[in-house]
Structure formats: C-alpha cells, structure tokens
Chain A
Amino acid sequence: MRTLLKNGRILDPSQDLDQVSSLLIEDDQIVGIGTEVAQAEVDEVYDCTGMWISPGLVDPHVHLREPGDEHKETIVSGTQAAAAGGYTTICCMPNTNPPLDSPALVDFILDRAASPESGGVFVAPVGALTRGMRGEELADLSALKRAGIIAASDEGFPIQNARVMTQAMEFCVQLDLPIMAHCEDTNLTKGGSMHEGAMSAMLGLKGIPRSAEEIAVVRNCLLSLHTGCQLHIMRVSTWGAVEMVRQAKFLGAPVTCEICPMHFAFTDEHVGEFDTRFKILPPLRTQVDIDLLVQGLTDGTIDCIASDHSPHASHEVDVPFEEAPFGSAQLESAVGVTLTLLTHTGVLSPLETINKLSTKPAQILRLDAGTFRSGESPVAQVCVIDPNCEWTFDRHKTFSKSKNTPFDGMKLKGKTMLTFSGSEIYRDALFSDDRYLVK
C-alpha cells in the first residue's frame, strides 16, 4: 500500500524543512519526501495543493478522564477528538479517579488507547508524582516509568510543600523523568474562580491573583535549577510567569513551558455575565498579559502550545460560576485558534507554528513524534492542515463527549484536513472528494 500526499507545503521543524513537495507513505512508514516521489507508482493520492503537510501534532496536556469520569470523556472519544484535531501523540493527565499512580492503571490506559475503536493516536501517560496526588509521599515512580509514563505531575493538585517537591525532583533526576508542574500557591487561590482584577471586583467573585501562579513558578524553577531536574511548566498565563521562566532559562535551569489557546485568545472580560465556559485554571488574565505572552511565544521563552483539553459534561457547567469546574474541550479547536490568532497575524511563521504544536513538545517530553526524520517515529505520523480554510466552530460537530467550549460559533481560519498515524485516522468533511484519488 503506497499513499502519496501530493504537492503540499512540507513543514518539518526538526530538519528546518519548509518547501512545496510531496510525501510518500508505504505501508505505515514515510519512505520519501521530495518532488520526485510524486512520480512514484502509488495506490492512492491526496492532493494537498495549498495545504501544509507536517508531522502529526503533539499535545503535552490532555485530560482523557478515564478511568473514573467517563461521563466527561473516555479514552475512545478523547483520542477520536485528538485525531480530528490533527494530533497523533497526546499526553494524558493523571488526575483520573483513581489517580494514575499505579502501573496497573498505566497498562489499562495504554490498552484502551490501542483498542481498535479508539482514535488511533499514541497516548503517552503522565503519572502522578505523589501517591493519590496528595502531595505527601512519592508515587512508585520507577515502576510507573517502566510501565510507560513519560513524565510525572500532580497536575491540578500542585505540591505545596517545597521539601516534598525537592525530593520528587531529586528522585526524578535519578530516573531521568521530566516533571510537569501546574504552578499554583493554593493558599492564594483558595475560593477564587477568576482572575483577580477589575472584572472579579465588579462581579463579586473571589479573585485569583497573578502572584499565586508566579510564586509557584519561581519556586519550581529554583528547585529545578538546584536539583537539575527537567521541569516543564504547564499553561503559563501571566506576564510575570513568562518573565520568571525567561530568567530561569537564563540561569541555566532545565525548564520549559507551554501555553494553551484560551490564554492568548481571551481575557477576564470574556467572563461577561458569569459565563462558565470561560472558567479555567489558571484564569484568563488581561490584554497586558496576552501581549507579553505573545512576546514569550515569539522569543521562544514559551516553548510549545498545549490544548489543555479539559472536558466536562454540560450539566456540570450549567451552574453558578463559583460551582463550575475549571476547563473546557479544546482538542478540536486548538489548530484553528492557533492559526487564526498567531499564524495569520504574523506572530508565528508556519514552520514555528508546527514547531510549537508538534516538534518542540515531542522533544521536551522525548516522544517518538514531531519529526519526519526516518527511524524517529514508530509509524508515519502526519497532519495535513489547510491554513486558509475559513470555518465556524460548531460544538455539536465534535468527537469529544464534552460540548463545553468557549470557541463555539467562532469564525476560524485554518483547519486540520487529514491525520495519519500509520494510516489515515481522520479525514475532514471539508477535504474535497476531488482531492482524493484511488488508483
């Protein structure tokens, strides 16, 4: 079986490759890139004229909710949503019920992800850093690593005790395991539901100050500097957090960080009249933060873009603002939002866009993905994006079980058209039949 992706803009940041060319997949492997492969004898041809052909996207931050919260999302529905978003490798978070703190649960997730009904993307589990994510005793990290976790994190239950975090980092240095940290001083965020600012004051909602995030960023960066532990900071949201990461990198700490689309798409003003779709942690900040986050994206301080796909059921979010959970479905909007707000505005070049969405997160978490270089991915992982496709996001047309998204009804420019993980795992309805030819 030979499949040709013909005449697209090949973008592979791992080789600094940006040229109009074709890509040939034989069986489940990429066997050639170049104008000459277009002449090869093939079984099927996808005409990718005007589109980008990139390594399958890599999402370092996804909540699949299984086991325990299958009413929000399952591994099957979540991986299908990922495939539709252009992702071929996703990292799933450990805040399931029970938390992902035992090797048996890692096995369960990998089995479910590999099942035929799932979306066909690679799932790389992130294990709990402490037992039960209680921030007290370390989880059995060596056993978890043998079972297949690619990083450890206590996600939404950040370790408050600096001694515990230091010990976790020391152990992870020994295990050569990255730590992913959601940065939050919970004494400062207790009871808060949105950014502490003019909007929270007006709405009478308890605010979450920038300092709650920044204090934890500084602490974790310093601990990373002193222990040498690889630290990936999840979803930075304030200008101060970006500046702290910039300083930590300058000092030589092995630190990286991510941003999620919500934080460059919206400000606290979007909460409007208590709209729970805009409730996220860390909270939506202000335009000043967005401007400096964008600068951080441009200068490389912010390494990558994570979806922070945090699905919830509709009945859970149709409640008073303070009772609503944080987060929303993001996998199927991330590409469109990123291209609309960062690429088409000139903040990121196409190559840098793919770098932030694929190559860089794969490098940070040492995943076999994010590149077209031969032998560096188990199977062909390819994403085809039409950067000029104008469409309106419709939450009822998504694969995710969660229909809770602030992007519903938004006009976007740029859409995932095809996703390959070995073979085709997603083809968009907007990908014209005329472009697909079986020989």
Chain B
Amino acid sequence: MSRHLLGIRHLDKDQIETLLSLAADFKLRVIEDKPVPKLNKQVVGMLFFENSTRTRVSFEMAAHYLSMKTANFTASSSSMSKGETLKDTILTLRYERLNGLVIRHRLSGAPTLAAHHFGGPVLNAGDGQHEHPTQALGDALTIIERKGDLDGLVVAIVGDVEHSRVARSNAWLLSKMGAEVRFVGPKTLIPALPALLPGAVFYDLATGIANADVVITLRLQKERMSEGMLSSIGEYAAMYQVNKDTLRYAQPDCLVMHPGPLNRGIEVDDVAADGERSAITSQVENGVFVRMASLYWAFTQDEARHDQVAEE
C-alpha cells in the first residue's frame, strides 16, 4: 500500500501535524543550509494536465531539495492529446517505473483514479473543484508562523467557495486543527448545501470577517459573470473586496492571505495585498517546504523515520 496525499479530507489531526512539523523542520534546514534527507533514487512524475506556474515550480523546487529526479509532462505534449485515457497514461508511467506522481487536473477526483491504477504514491496538486492539499498545508504553516497555533483561530474564507479547491482543503485542515472556519461570499458562489463542508456560511462580508484572525481571499474567475452568477465585477468588489475599509471588522492583527494569482482591485486591493498584515509572499515561500514534507511523507512510509528527522 502506497501512501497518497489526495486530500486533507482524508487525513487525521496527527497526520496533519506530522506534515506541518516536517515542513517546519525542512524550512529551517534549507535556510540554514543544513543537510536534508536525500531521496535520490526516486523519480517523481509531474503531471500537470492543467496550467500551473507556482504549484509546479514549487513541487520541482521541493523535489530538487530532496535530491529527487523529476519527469515532466504537460497535457498538450503528452499522449493524452492523442486520445489516450488518463488510466492508460497512468499505467504507462507505472511500467516506466516512475516511483511517484504529482498530479494537477481540471477534473475533481482525477488523482483518486490515478492512485487506483498507479503502484506508488500519488500527490494531488489540485483537482477540479475538489482539493488542493499542499496549498492548505502551506497556508497552515504560514498561519502557525505568524500566530503560533491554529487552535481557536477564526478564519474567514472569502469569495468563490463553490468553485474553489483551495477553500475546501483549507476548511478541512483548519477545522481539523481546531480553528473556526467561515465561508463568506454571494449565495450564487457558496454551495447550495454545504453541510458536509466544515464551515459556517455568511453572505455578508462585515459579519463574516468580524473578529477574524485570518482572512483568506479567493480568486474570482471572470467567467462567473458570463455564467450569470454575478452581475458585475464592480458589484462583487463593492460587496466582497477585502481592503483597508472592510478589514476594520476583523482583528487588528488579522492576516490577509490569497492563493494567487491575484486579481488586484477585485477580490483584494493593494493595501490589503501588500500591507504589513499580508502573508501572501510567505504562503508562496512555505509552499516549497510543505511540498518537501508531502513528498517525503508520501515516499517514506516509516513513521519512525519522520520522528528521527525531526529530532536530528
């Protein structure tokens, strides 16, 4: 049995803590130029069926630090464009003896299917509107660095929750670690029945971010307008933009986060994105270390080794 990272939903609190402490440890080692574990016999396939810059580079950097080799695929240059099914692509890579896979796919559940057919570990780098577990881990590490702990924090996730894998993974992780999660956005962009998602729903921004310790703003896709879910960008910004004015409702030391890429002037303004309360650049930096932790965690199943690394 391989260990996969398909979603935060499937992890328990201990596993999340293990991943976060590994990430913190790796960060220290990389910054202080101390040795990190070498997985130098391991080759990981980077399957990005959907465009991505930051997640892909972040995973490649993580693999680089761990002395792993990477094999790159993109949808347009692979045999998927010749009509091969995902299952056959995965089986091909399995018998080309790749050791593990990192998958980004536009369809929810694609990494689950890949894990079913691939022998080794599979890491989800974002699937459809389902999960983006490494993003949530990076965000959690960032919050812990600034706030010390996740337990008891009030975290508002603002924007297009319905279509956001980042919102789902963050909600699972933060709630499992004891934070109070709130989903804030227009009714058309909040799931009609969010009962299985761990968060309370607010349609009003001021109420939703009241006393929040962290505000995670989500990227607004422009196609939501043409789909009739929103009237205009202007109206959305007027109702839900996280900026100097609306942040007054949150805690004075509230962190502002965003998974990127930003639509400045829409879901967030420059003051919020670049101000001292912004943690956006830390999120990007920490993304590398949580992806190191995720690769290491998935590729080495021996729990004892994790503790050892942490103690070294």
Contact = CB atoms under 8 A, between A and B. Distances in A.
Partners in one complex: yes
Interface of A: 196-207, 209, 273-274, 315, 318-323
Contacts of A197: 192-193
A341 B46 CA distance: 47
B107 A201 contact: no
Contacts of B27: none
B108 A203 contact: yes
B107 A315 contact: no
B112 interface: yes
* Most chain B CB within a 10 A radius of its CB, from A201, A207, A320, A322: A320
B196 A202 contact: yes
Interface of B: 9, 85-87, 105, 107-110, 112-113, 127-131, 162, 165, 168, 191-197
Please list the 4 inter-chain residue pairs (A to B) with the smallest Cβ-Cβ separation, ordered nearest first.
A274-B109, A204-B129, A201-B191, A204-B130
Contacts of B112: 273-274
A274 B197 CA distance: 17
Query: Quick one: which of A204, A273, A319, A321 has the most chain B CB within 10 A?
Result: A204
Output the residue of A202, A207, A274, A315 with the most chain B CB within 10 A.
A202
Given A202-B196, A204-B131, A320 B191 contact: no
A322 B108 CA distance: 8
Given A201-B191, A201-B192, A319 B87 contact: yes
A205 B87 contact: no
A203 B130 contact: yes
Given A204-B131, A205-B129, A198 B109 contact: no
Nearest to B195: A198
Contacts of B108: 203-205, 274, 320-322
Residue of B105, B108, B131 with most chain A CB atoms under a 10 A cut-off: B108
Contact of A320 (B86, B129, B192): B86
A320 B107 contact: yes
A321 B109 contact: yes
B86 A319 contact: yes
A104 to B, nearest CB: 32
Contacts of B87: 315, 318-319
Contact of A196 (B85, B127, B168, B193): B193
B85 A198 contact: no
Given A201-B196, A204-B168, A319-B86, 14 more contacts: A196-B192, A198-B194, A198-B196, A201-B193, A201-B197, A202-B197, A203-B109, A204-B108, A207-B192, A209-B192, A273-B109, A318-B85, A319-B87, A320-B110
Contacts of B129: 204-206
A211 to B, nearest CB: 11
A272 to B, nearest CB: 10
B106 to A, nearest CB: 9
Given A196-B192, A320-B105, A322-B128, A202 B9 contact: yes
A262 to B, nearest CB: 20
